[in-house]
Amino acid sequence: MSAVTLAIYPGSFDPVTNGHLDLVEQAAAVFDHVIVAVLQNPTKSPLFTVGERVHWLRNAARRWPNVEVDQFQGLLVDYARLRGAAVIVRGVREMADFEAERRMAQMNRHLHPSLVTVFLPSHSQYAYVSSSLVKEVASLGGDVGGLVPDEVAEALYARFAQRPPAAEGSESNPRGPSGAG
């Protein structure tokens, strides 16, 4: 019987985007068990708490039975040892991502030589989607629908007290004609 391959998909997920979920779906199809691991980093100031970030990921990941969501602190390699993971999964959207990702993979390999990092390419429809851009757009009143799960979009609009204007002619828009709601 072959061993079960446990992979960790780590990140800040502040907040989760549909691009991240595309990666989770790809990883879930390749590995036996995937742990989406949310970094709890006391030196950074994320927009959302680790609890919120984990909650939205858990809701979104319900559709994949071999995916769990957890949080970690400290070195990723220590968390990988703790969980007995053999693989780290990272998404690469474009070449600009690659150098930094390669450096991180090489450092992790230095610290934990048997840990393998696997890069998965994002689907082109998500190549431009990042948590930071989504936050910027939402903070300026832009529409982030379709880029993040609906409940995350609502949380972003609430956090920034900004909502995008309702689409013209869309009477069914739940935000109402004034864009408030």
Binding site for ligand PNS (CB under 6 A): 10-12, 39, 75-76, 104, 107-108
Q: What are phi and psi of 45, to 5 degrees?
A: -115, 90
Nearest CA to 120 among 133, 135, 105? Answer: 105
Nearest CA to 52 among 159, 130, 181, 147? Answer: 159
When CB distances to ligand PNS are compared, the closest residue is: 11
Q: Are 128 and 19 in contact (CB under 8 A)?
A: no
If the CB atoms of residues 54 and 166 are measured against ligand PNS, the closer one turns out to be 54
Catalytic residue selected from 12, 53, 122, 131: 131
Residues pairing with 116 in the sheet: 87
The distance of closest approach from Cβ of residue 61 to ligand PNS in the complex, given in angstroms and rounded to an integer, is 16
Q: Are 152 and 47 in contact (CB under 8 A)?
A: no
The reply to whether 112 belongs to the active site is no
The distance of closest approach from Cβ of residue 157 to ligand PNS in the complex, given in angstroms and rounded to an integer, is 22
If the CB atoms of residues 5 and 41 are measured against ligand PNS, the closer one turns out to be 41
The reply to whether 132 belongs to the active site is no
The reply to whether 131 belongs to the active site is yes
Any idea which residue has 């780590």 for tokens?
A: 10
Catalytic residue selected from 44, 62, 114, 178: 44
The reply to whether 44 belongs to the active site is yes
Where in the sequence numbering do the catalytic residues fall? 20, 44, 93, 131
